[in-house]
Amino acid sequence: MSWWGKILGGAFGMMIGGPIGALLGVALGHNLDKGVNVNNHSAGFGRQEKIQTIFYTATFSVMGHICKADGRVSEDEIQLAQDVMRKMDLNDEQKKLAINLFNEGKNSTFQLNDVVNQFRHEIGFRPNLIRMFIEIQIMAAYADGELHQTERDILLNVCRLLNISQADFERLCAMIAAMHGGQQSSQQQYNGLTLEKAYAVLNISQNASKDEVKKAYRRLMNQHHPDKLVAKGLPEEMMKVAAERTHEIKQAYEFIKEKKFIKCNT
């Protein structure tokens, strides 16, 4: 049985504990003691399923907290959360849980530091999974077209708790800002994409050599490979989100090849 089946079937019990377990319990309509002993209640719930549940719970609750950071949740931010849910093909019960987690994150009593600290502890050494988590949060912050200072402050705090440097945070922001401006439409392959944005997506200088561009592309594709992320604990329902990122990275790489290197060789 998948983690979703166990969660929605009520078999999750109290396998998580801590602030994330309490948060999940509230979102499901249960009252769980956040101090519960995890080891006494985790039978039948594997390590992989536990990580998937924690990733999902933390993702939507922290997203709600960040979107509320500037004082209100905009329509664009709500749309982004709904887009993530739609890409996951959630059924009505699953959507309800995601929305409840998002709303819990908006609550003034939301324990951001505690949730992120438990998330980091449970995820362990899975840098690509942590990277995917923070990328989703940055995407949420950029949903209304700009990164507000309050959102930036919260994201920097989350990065600090996850041991992500400010330099890496700035690079991720540049990548995601570029992607928001260069997503592919169904009618035009490179709609809105420029060389500047494409290089930003690959997180490299516009003076990078052909080999450097290729290395950056391969590194990013490896970091965002959906199957590899799922093997590390990404919920299977989030594979489409990861697949979209690999599509954007590939699009940027192909655009640079076409506009710079292929033309230079003709």
Q: 127, 118, 263, 251: which is closest to 189 by C-alpha?
A: 251
pLDDT attached to residue 180:
63
pLDDT attached to residue 188:
39
- DSSP state, residue 224: T
pLDDT attached to residue 235:
78
pLDDT attached to residue 63:
92
Q: What is the 3-state secondary structure (H, E, C) of 71-105?
A: CCCCHHHHHHHHHHHHHCCCCHHHHHHHHHHHHHH
Residue 39, judged by CB atoms within 10 A of its CB (0-12, 13-18, 19+), counts as: exposed
CA distances from 218 to 73, 174, 233, 250 (A): 36, 19, 22, 9
**Residue 88 in tokens:** 């996951």
Return the domain boundaries, the chain.
3-264
Segment (H or E) for 262:
none
**Residue 99 in tokens:** 């929305």
pLDDT attached to residue 70:
72
Q: How many CB atoms lie within 10 A of CB 154?
A: 20
pLDDT attached to residue 176:
86
pLDDT attached to residue 51:
86
Percent of the chain as helix, strand, coil, to the nearest 5: 70, 0, 30
pLDDT attached to residue 263:
52
Q: How many CB atoms lie within 10 A of CB 260?
A: 17
Q: 3, 49, 23, 28: which is closest to 93 by C-alpha?
A: 28
Q: What is the pLDDT along the chain (266 residues), one digit of tens a residue?
A: 456 555 655 545 446 788 998 888 888 875 444 433 333 344 455 777 888 889 989 999 999 999 888 777 778 778 877 877 777 777 787 888 889 999 999 999 999 999 999 999 999 889 999 999 999 999 888 887 788 899 999 999 999 999 999 999 998 998 888 776 434 333 334 556 788 888 988 988 888 999 999 999 999 999 888 888 888 888 777 787 788 889 889 999 999 988 877 654 43
CA distances from 171 to 60, 79, 202, 212, 266 (A): 23, 25, 10, 17, 33
- DSSP state, residue 187: S
Phi and psi at 85, nearest 5°, equal: -65, -40
pLDDT attached to residue 33:
42
Segment (H or E) for 153:
helix 149-161
56-90 pLDDT per residue, tens: 899 999 999 998 887 777 787 788 778 777 777 77
**Dist. CA 177–CA 163, nearest whole Å:** 22
pLDDT attached to residue 4:
59
